[in-house]
Amino acid sequence: MLDIALPTGLASVSTARRLVREIVATSANPELADDAALLTSEVVTNALLHGRSPVRIAVSVGMGVRIEVSDCGPRDLVVREHGALATSGRGLTLLDLLARWGVVQTDTGKAVWFELGETRARPGGAAT
């Protein structure tokens, strides 16, 4: 389990990606490490660009992987349209393709979570 605040700045994206890859690669499901790292990059980048500090990441591993990225930004997640030649804007599409995911409101903003592999939901939307 990991739960840390990320420093402000896009350099935190590579830090989060590396930490997630290391944790998942040494878990019961190392085959999920690449997808977990990719989706972490997307969600952390969105939080840093569109949310407000502090940004936190929580990682839980067990039968599957659950990653939650929270920020103090507006509570609404904005899905943006992107053209075929756009170089960004595909993070939510990747989440749809590779994981179960959602957004929950927190006392200070929002948290975007995603799950890979087999997880078991607990009351309140958390997974084990």
Report the CATH number that the domain containing residue 102 is assigned in CATH: 3.30.565.10
Domain limits for position 68: 2-77+88-117
Is 128 contained in some domain?
no
Report yes or no on 110 lying in a domain. yes
Residue 122 lies in a domain: no
CA dist 103 and 29 (Å) reads 24
Rounded Cα distance between 57 and 41, Å, is 11
Does 63 reside within a domain? Answer: yes
Quick check: helix, strand or coil at residue 37? Answer: helix
Q: What pLDDT is stored for residue 104 in this prediction?
A: 93
pTM: 0.85
Dihedral sign for Cα atoms in the order 61, 48, 112, 126: positive
Going by pLDDT thresholds of 50, 70 and 90, the confidence category of residue 123 is: very low
pLDDT of 128 > 70? The answer is no
Q: What is residue 73's predicted lDDT score, i.e. its pLDDT?
A: 86
Amino acid at position 50, single letter: H
Beta bridge partners of 71: 110
Q: Is residue 60 part of a domain?
A: yes
* Number of domains making up the chain: 1
pLDDT in tens, 7-55: 999 999 999 999 999 999 999 999 999 999 999 999 999 999 888 999 9
Residue 83 lies in a domain: no
Q: Would you tell me how many other CB atoms lie within 10 Å of the CB of residue 80? A: 11
The answer to whether residue 125 sits within a structural domain is no
Is residue 30 in some structural domain?
yes
Q: What is the pLDDT of residues 66-100, one digit of tens each?
A: 999 999 987 666 666 666 655 555 678 889 999 99
